[in-house]
Amino acid sequence: MPLSEKARIEVYLPDLPRAAYQDLLSALTQEFTYTFGGCTIIRGLDGSYLSQSGLPIQDRINLIYMDTPYTFAENFDVVSTYADKLKNAAFAALAEEAILVVVSQVFHAE
């Protein structure tokens, strides 16, 4: 069975009951659905990170991800630029000190 390479983009967002957080998740859902044909959201994950002051912070996370039609290596600049724009948009929309955007190489069974 042949495999096809894709670049996956994941965005980890704090799960807070504030309109800005829900609005950003909705906007990303629309963006990923209309641009790439769909996305997956995993809600209510437990997260932990060190704050800028060095204190551990526990929080709830929503993970939204999708697979692009692009191969990872051959389209690295395109995927990297898109990931940077996502991260900048998330920081502009939310008052957070950390937002994680991940790009990875995945393979789909054809």
73: CATH: 3.30.70.120
Total number of domains in the chain: 1
Phi, psi angle pair for 99, to nearest 5°: -140, 130
Give residue 32's identity as a one-letter amino acid code.
Answer: F
Task: Put the strands of the sheet holding 3-14 in their side by side order.
Answer: 40-50, 56-67, 3-14, 100-109
Question: What global pTM score does this model have?
Answer: 0.90
Whole-number average pLDDT of the chain: 93
Domain that holds residue 50: 3-109
If one compares 33 and 98, the residue with the highest pLDDT of the two is 33
User: How far is the C-alpha of 71 from the C-alpha of 23, rounded, in Å?
Assistant: 30
Per-residue pLDDT, 51: 83
User: How far is the C-alpha of 90 from the C-alpha of 104, rounded, in Å?
Assistant: 19
Which position has the token pair 């769909």?
38
